[in-house]
Amino acid sequence: MTVTAEVRDIGEMSTTPGLVNAHHHLYSSLARGMPGPRMQPTSFPHMLELVWWRLDAAHTLDSIYWSAKLGALEAALAGTTCIIDHHESPRAIEGSLDAIRRACEEVGVRVRTCYGATDRWADDGSLHPKVSPLSGMTKGARLGLEECERHLRAGHDGMVGLHASFTCSDDTIGAASELAERFKVGVHVHVAEAIDDASAGARLQRHARKEWLLVHAVHLSESLAGTIVHNPRSNMNNAVGYAKPTTRPNDVVLGSDGIGSDMAEEARLAYVRLREFDPSSTPEVVDRWLTNARHLFPAALLDRVTWRSPRADDPWFAAFTTAMRVERVEVDGRTIVDRGTTLLVDETEVRRKSAEAARRLHQRMENV
Ligand SMILES: [Zn+2]
């Protein structure tokens, strides 16, 4: 029997720096296939209550780790080497950011995470979907801010997180803002994602700084300091409206809001949604959003993605090339993906173990 060498001609390739997902929820990677809501949600906050706040409440440190590991793996495979994560797990707060950091390090992607503090869980454990601005800081919010502080104090890449102003008291918003100032980082917060959070701008205005990440800004009527993270797929999925990012004076970057980390795909979607709004716009606009994200997370410029495509670095080519596939990913000179699969972790094993963790998580959700 003659053994012939593998002949592999995958055509002309091209390279780009690493991509950045500027707003991710690594805790939602195991959400696919989760139990559906017990009733039809009637509003955006109602949907959060019936779906996402059940998921985050069912998380343990183990499921957070596997969710982050699957999310990191899928990011790596898509050429997204930098993830800005926003985390919540109200029944497993302490140690959660370490679990996320460890999972990402093992896969080889970079992560900047934070815990999204919120007052929506009262001290007796009951859920309060709408929080009065004048109510005091809850124990849950205090623990969330402490988790951010612990992470930052240890010297890890992080931010200070707030869920959204409609689930936070003024006390908690003020404390998050002070903590961020102390560590010279920004606050990562959902802002006016749906009409129900339209007061966000007024409440955040005196605190917001240029380092802040303002996520969504669909129904924002004030001008706030910070970078706007546009999440077109998530906004369309939640039917919250179009954010019209080109009408804002702020720098704009792209996020997935937890729906994977394929930022080339997110950019293509952002482009066609932008064209629907303004047919005179060009792919360079969306390409600028990808570049802005690399300024936000400059380490992405040290990373290299090799695409099985001849002109991945050309915005006009990338905007219309669906399923542009990644051949190799190098993070700071170390190869983490080669021939379309991960090198530092076994892709099959991560997928199998995270599927097992997902089954256990979904079972726990039934009791939340
Ligand atoms: Zn989000």
CA 339 to ligand 1 centroid distance, Å: 32
State residue 1's pLDDT score: 46
CA 188 to ligand 1 centroid distance, Å: 10
Tens-digit pLDDT profile for the chain (368 aa)? Answer: 445 556 667 789 999 999 999 999 999 999 998 988 889 999 888 888 888 889 999 999 999 999 999 999 999 999 999 999 999 999 999 999 999 999 999 999 999 999 999 999 999 988 887 899 999 999 999 999 999 999 999 999 999 999 999 999 999 999 999 999 999 999 999 999 999 999 999 999 999 999 999 999 999 999 999 999 999 999 999 999 999 999 999 999 999 999 999 999 999 999 999 999 999 999 999 999 999 999 999 999 999 999 999 999 999 999 999 989 999 999 999 999 999 999 999 999 999 999 999 999 999 998 88
CA 334 to ligand 1 centroid distance, Å: 30
CA 228 to ligand 1 centroid distance, Å: 12
CA 153 to ligand 1 centroid distance, Å: 24
Are the C-beta atoms of residues 308 and 10 closer than 8 Å to each other?
A: yes
CA 163 to ligand 1 centroid distance, Å: 8
CA 289 to ligand 1 centroid distance, Å: 18
* pTM score over 0.85: yes
Would you put residue 13 in left (φ > 0), alpha (ψ -120 to 50) or beta?
A: beta
CA 191 to ligand 1 centroid distance, Å: 10
CA 258 to ligand 1 centroid distance, Å: 7
State residue 11's pLDDT score: 81
Are the C-beta atoms of residues 162 and 118 closer than 8 Å to each other?
A: yes
Give me Rg for the CA atoms of the chain.
Answer: 20
CA 61 to ligand 1 centroid distance, Å: 20
C-alpha triplet 156, 160, 163: angle, nearest 5°: 135
Are the C-beta atoms of residues 73 and 346 closer than 8 Å to each other?
A: no
CA 126 to ligand 1 centroid distance, Å: 22
- Domain 18-365 is found in CATH 3.40.50.720: no
CA 199 to ligand 1 centroid distance, Å: 18
CA 194 to ligand 1 centroid distance, Å: 12
State residue 90's pLDDT score: 96
CA 193 to ligand 1 centroid distance, Å: 9
> For the residues of 30-49, what is the DSSP string, one character each?
T-TTPPPPSS---SHHHHII
